[in-house]
Amino acid sequence: MNQQPGNTPARLPGLSVFLPSHNEEGNVERVVAEFLAELPRVTDNYEVIVVDDGSRDRTGEIADRLAAHDTHVKAVHHPVNRGYGGAVTSGIRASTQPYVLLCDGDGQFDPADIERMIPFVPEYDVVAGRRTRRADHLMRRINGKAWTILVRALLGITINDIDCGFKLFKREKLDGLELRAHGAMISTELMARLAGRGAKVKEVDVQHLPRLSGEQSGANLKVVTLAFKELFALYRDLKDERRAAR
Protein backbone atom coordinates (compact mmCIF):
# COMPACT_ATOMS: atom_id res chain seq x y z
CA MET A 1 0.00 0.00 0.00
CA ASN A 2 1.65 3.23 -1.16
CA GLN A 3 1.00 6.89 -0.44
CA GLN A 4 -0.94 8.43 -3.28
CA PRO A 5 0.27 11.64 -4.96
CA GLY A 6 -1.24 15.03 -4.23
CA ASN A 7 -3.78 15.44 -1.46
CA THR A 8 -5.30 11.98 -1.78
CA PRO A 9 -4.51 9.87 1.31
CA ALA A 10 -3.29 6.29 1.06
CA ARG A 11 -6.05 3.70 1.30
CA LEU A 12 -6.58 0.74 3.58
CA PRO A 13 -8.04 -2.60 2.43
CA GLY A 14 -10.71 -2.28 5.15
CA LEU A 15 -11.21 -0.48 8.45
CA SER A 16 -13.36 -1.08 11.52
CA VAL A 17 -13.78 1.89 13.84
CA PHE A 18 -15.18 1.20 17.28
CA LEU A 19 -16.35 3.84 19.72
CA PRO A 20 -16.51 2.94 23.44
CA SER A 21 -19.45 5.05 24.64
CA HIS A 22 -20.98 5.48 28.08
CA ASN A 23 -23.68 8.15 28.47
CA GLU A 24 -22.61 9.92 25.27
CA GLU A 25 -26.03 10.87 23.88
CA GLY A 26 -24.78 14.38 23.18
CA ASN A 27 -21.82 13.14 21.13
CA VAL A 28 -22.58 9.81 19.48
CA GLU A 29 -24.53 11.03 16.45
CA ARG A 30 -22.01 13.74 15.61
CA VAL A 31 -19.02 11.43 16.04
CA VAL A 32 -20.53 8.69 13.86
CA ALA A 33 -21.43 11.23 11.16
CA GLU A 34 -17.88 12.59 11.14
CA PHE A 35 -16.45 9.12 10.66
CA LEU A 36 -18.93 8.27 7.91
CA ALA A 37 -17.80 11.40 6.09
CA GLU A 38 -14.10 10.62 6.52
CA LEU A 39 -13.82 6.87 6.00
CA PRO A 40 -14.62 6.76 2.25
CA ARG A 41 -11.48 8.88 1.77
CA VAL A 42 -9.28 6.11 3.17
CA THR A 43 -11.03 2.81 2.36
CA ASP A 44 -13.83 1.22 0.38
CA ASN A 45 -14.71 -1.21 3.16
CA TYR A 46 -15.55 0.24 6.54
CA GLU A 47 -17.77 -0.03 9.56
CA VAL A 48 -18.40 2.20 12.58
CA ILE A 49 -19.26 0.27 15.73
CA VAL A 50 -20.85 2.07 18.68
CA VAL A 51 -20.24 0.11 21.88
CA ASP A 52 -22.96 1.27 24.26
CA ASP A 53 -21.50 0.38 27.63
CA GLY A 54 -24.63 0.21 29.76
CA SER A 55 -25.54 3.85 29.19
CA ARG A 56 -28.37 5.29 31.26
CA ASP A 57 -29.18 7.93 28.65
CA ARG A 58 -30.20 7.68 24.96
CA THR A 59 -26.79 6.54 23.66
CA GLY A 60 -28.03 3.04 22.81
CA GLU A 61 -31.26 4.29 21.26
CA ILE A 62 -29.38 6.73 19.02
CA ALA A 63 -26.87 4.04 18.01
CA ASP A 64 -29.69 1.69 17.01
CA ARG A 65 -31.33 4.41 14.94
CA LEU A 66 -28.07 5.17 13.13
CA ALA A 67 -27.49 1.47 12.45
CA ALA A 68 -31.02 1.12 11.05
CA HIS A 69 -30.38 3.91 8.55
CA ASP A 70 -26.85 2.99 7.44
CA THR A 71 -25.45 -0.52 6.99
CA HIS A 72 -21.95 0.80 7.75
CA VAL A 73 -23.02 1.42 11.36
CA LYS A 74 -23.32 -1.29 14.02
CA ALA A 75 -24.49 -1.07 17.61
CA VAL A 76 -23.18 -3.31 20.38
CA HIS A 77 -24.97 -3.11 23.73
CA HIS A 78 -23.91 -3.99 27.26
CA PRO A 79 -27.02 -4.37 29.45
CA VAL A 80 -24.92 -3.16 32.38
CA ASN A 81 -21.81 -1.01 32.50
CA ARG A 82 -18.70 -3.16 32.10
CA GLY A 83 -16.19 -0.34 32.21
CA TYR A 84 -13.88 1.03 29.54
CA GLY A 85 -11.95 -2.23 29.32
CA GLY A 86 -15.11 -4.21 28.68
CA ALA A 87 -16.16 -1.76 25.97
CA VAL A 88 -12.78 -1.97 24.25
CA THR A 89 -12.81 -5.76 24.37
CA SER A 90 -16.32 -5.86 22.84
CA GLY A 91 -15.28 -3.40 20.15
CA ILE A 92 -12.31 -5.52 19.15
CA ARG A 93 -14.44 -8.67 19.01
CA ALA A 94 -17.10 -6.96 16.88
CA SER A 95 -14.57 -5.63 14.35
CA THR A 96 -14.33 -7.53 11.08
CA GLN A 97 -11.99 -5.52 8.83
CA PRO A 98 -8.19 -5.97 8.36
CA TYR A 99 -7.46 -2.77 10.30
CA VAL A 100 -9.10 -1.61 13.51
CA LEU A 101 -9.26 1.90 14.96
CA LEU A 102 -10.03 2.50 18.61
CA CYS A 103 -11.54 5.96 19.09
CA ASP A 104 -13.13 7.16 22.31
CA GLY A 105 -16.78 8.04 21.76
CA ASP A 106 -16.58 11.40 23.53
CA GLY A 107 -15.84 13.43 20.40
CA GLN A 108 -12.39 14.58 21.51
CA PHE A 109 -10.59 13.17 18.47
CA ASP A 110 -10.78 14.26 14.83
CA PRO A 111 -11.52 11.37 12.43
CA ALA A 112 -9.43 13.18 9.78
CA ASP A 113 -6.33 12.35 11.82
CA ILE A 114 -6.59 8.81 10.45
CA GLU A 115 -4.88 10.25 7.40
CA ARG A 116 -1.83 11.06 9.54
CA MET A 117 -1.57 7.41 10.55
CA ILE A 118 -2.12 5.52 7.33
CA PRO A 119 1.29 6.28 5.74
CA PHE A 120 2.87 4.18 8.51
CA VAL A 121 0.99 0.98 7.69
CA PRO A 122 1.65 -1.79 6.85
CA GLU A 123 5.23 -1.24 8.12
CA TYR A 124 3.93 -0.85 11.70
CA ASP A 125 1.48 -3.10 13.50
CA VAL A 126 0.15 -0.32 15.73
CA VAL A 127 0.01 3.40 14.99
CA ALA A 128 -0.74 5.11 18.29
CA GLY A 129 -1.99 8.65 18.60
CA ARG A 130 -0.03 11.09 20.72
CA ARG A 131 -2.02 14.11 21.88
CA THR A 132 -0.01 17.20 21.03
CA ARG A 133 -2.00 19.38 23.42
CA ARG A 134 -4.46 17.72 25.77
CA ALA A 135 -7.76 19.60 26.00
CA ASP A 136 -8.15 18.66 29.67
CA HIS A 137 -7.81 20.56 32.92
CA LEU A 138 -4.34 20.85 34.48
CA MET A 139 -4.71 18.17 37.15
CA ARG A 140 -5.91 15.59 34.63
CA ARG A 141 -2.89 16.35 32.44
CA ILE A 142 -0.53 16.01 35.41
CA ASN A 143 -2.11 12.73 36.46
CA GLY A 144 -1.88 11.42 32.91
CA LYS A 145 1.82 12.27 32.67
CA ALA A 146 2.56 10.66 36.05
CA TRP A 147 0.67 7.52 35.03
CA THR A 148 2.62 7.25 31.78
CA ILE A 149 5.95 7.60 33.62
CA LEU A 150 4.92 4.86 36.06
CA VAL A 151 3.78 2.51 33.32
CA ARG A 152 6.92 3.05 31.27
CA ALA A 153 9.11 2.31 34.29
CA LEU A 154 7.14 -0.70 35.52
CA LEU A 155 6.33 -2.44 32.23
CA GLY A 156 9.02 -1.18 29.89
CA ILE A 157 6.52 0.34 27.46
CA THR A 158 8.18 3.04 25.40
CA ILE A 159 5.33 5.12 23.97
CA ASN A 160 4.75 8.59 25.39
CA ASP A 161 0.95 8.79 25.55
CA ILE A 162 -0.20 5.39 26.70
CA ASP A 163 -3.83 6.36 27.31
CA CYS A 164 -4.52 8.22 24.07
CA GLY A 165 -7.87 6.86 22.89
CA PHE A 166 -7.00 6.97 19.20
CA LYS A 167 -5.03 3.93 18.02
CA LEU A 168 -4.86 2.03 14.73
CA PHE A 169 -4.14 -1.72 14.80
CA LYS A 170 -3.55 -4.50 12.34
CA ARG A 171 -6.44 -6.84 13.00
CA GLU A 172 -4.24 -9.93 12.88
CA LYS A 173 -2.23 -8.68 15.87
CA LEU A 174 -5.39 -8.51 17.98
CA ASP A 175 -6.63 -12.00 17.10
CA GLY A 176 -6.60 -14.29 20.11
CA LEU A 177 -5.36 -11.57 22.45
CA GLU A 178 -6.56 -12.25 25.99
CA LEU A 179 -7.41 -8.99 27.75
CA ARG A 180 -8.32 -8.93 31.43
CA ALA A 181 -8.54 -5.27 32.42
CA HIS A 182 -12.03 -3.92 33.06
CA GLY A 183 -11.18 -0.25 33.51
CA ALA A 184 -8.91 2.42 32.05
CA MET A 185 -5.91 0.08 32.37
CA ILE A 186 -7.04 -1.61 29.16
CA SER A 187 -4.92 0.76 27.02
CA THR A 188 -1.80 -0.15 28.98
CA GLU A 189 -2.61 -3.85 28.85
CA LEU A 190 -3.23 -3.72 25.11
CA MET A 191 0.14 -2.12 24.42
CA ALA A 192 2.01 -4.36 26.87
CA ARG A 193 0.57 -7.58 25.45
CA LEU A 194 1.12 -6.44 21.86
CA ALA A 195 4.73 -5.62 22.75
CA GLY A 196 5.00 -9.20 24.02
CA ARG A 197 3.91 -10.33 20.56
CA GLY A 198 6.69 -8.29 18.97
CA ALA A 199 4.38 -5.67 17.50
CA LYS A 200 6.07 -2.71 15.85
CA VAL A 201 4.62 0.56 17.17
CA LYS A 202 4.74 4.08 15.75
CA GLU A 203 3.47 7.19 17.54
CA VAL A 204 1.85 9.97 15.51
CA ASP A 205 0.75 13.40 16.72
CA VAL A 206 -3.03 13.87 16.76
CA GLN A 207 -5.35 16.62 17.86
CA HIS A 208 -7.21 16.50 21.15
CA LEU A 209 -10.43 18.50 21.14
CA PRO A 210 -12.48 19.93 24.01
CA ARG A 211 -15.37 17.78 25.17
CA LEU A 212 -18.59 19.42 23.93
CA SER A 213 -21.07 17.29 25.88
CA GLY A 214 -21.15 14.81 28.75
CA GLU A 215 -18.80 14.28 31.65
CA GLN A 216 -15.37 12.71 32.01
CA SER A 217 -14.97 9.79 34.40
CA GLY A 218 -11.20 9.26 34.30
CA ALA A 219 -10.56 11.15 37.55
CA ASN A 220 -13.22 9.22 39.47
CA LEU A 221 -11.67 7.67 42.60
CA LYS A 222 -13.09 4.22 41.80
CA VAL A 223 -11.67 4.42 38.28
CA VAL A 224 -8.23 5.42 39.55
CA THR A 225 -8.20 2.74 42.27
CA LEU A 226 -9.17 0.03 39.78
CA ALA A 227 -6.46 1.21 37.36
CA PHE A 228 -3.73 0.79 39.99
CA LYS A 229 -5.08 -2.60 41.06
CA GLU A 230 -5.13 -3.83 37.46
CA LEU A 231 -1.69 -2.34 36.72
CA PHE A 232 0.01 -4.37 39.42
CA ALA A 233 -1.97 -7.48 38.44
CA LEU A 234 -0.72 -7.06 34.87
CA TYR A 235 2.84 -6.56 36.12
CA ARG A 236 2.66 -9.88 37.99
CA ASP A 237 1.10 -11.65 34.99
CA LEU A 238 3.77 -10.46 32.58
CA LYS A 239 6.53 -11.31 35.05
CA ASP A 240 5.14 -14.84 35.44
CA GLU A 241 4.81 -15.24 31.67
CA ARG A 242 8.41 -14.17 31.10
CA ARG A 243 9.61 -16.57 33.79
CA ALA A 244 7.62 -19.44 32.25
CA ALA A 245 9.05 -18.70 28.80
CA ARG A 246 12.64 -19.14 29.97
Q: Which domains does the chain have, with CATH numbers?
A: 15-245 (3.90.550.10)
d(CA 227, CA 11): 36
* pLDDT, position 135: 56
* pLDDT, position 24: 97
Q: Give SS3 for 93.
A: helix
Residues of the chain scoring pLDDT < 50: 2-6
Q: What is the residue type of 6?
A: G
> What is the reported pTM?
0.86
* pLDDT, position 116: 96
d(CA 134, CA 6): 30
- Which pLDDT tens digit goes with each residue over 139-188? 666 677 777 788 787 787 888 888 899 999 999 999 989 898 888 889 99
Q: What residues pair up with 188 in beta bridges, in sequence order?
A: none
* pLDDT, position 38: 98
* pLDDT, position 146: 77
Q: What residues pair up with 52 in beta bridges, in sequence order?
A: 21, 77
* pLDDT, position 222: 77
* pLDDT, position 145: 73
Q: What strands, in cross-sheet order, belong to the sheet with 201-206?
A: 73-78, 46-53, 15-21, 99-103, 166-170, 126-131, 201-206
* pLDDT, position 158: 82
* pLDDT, position 93: 96
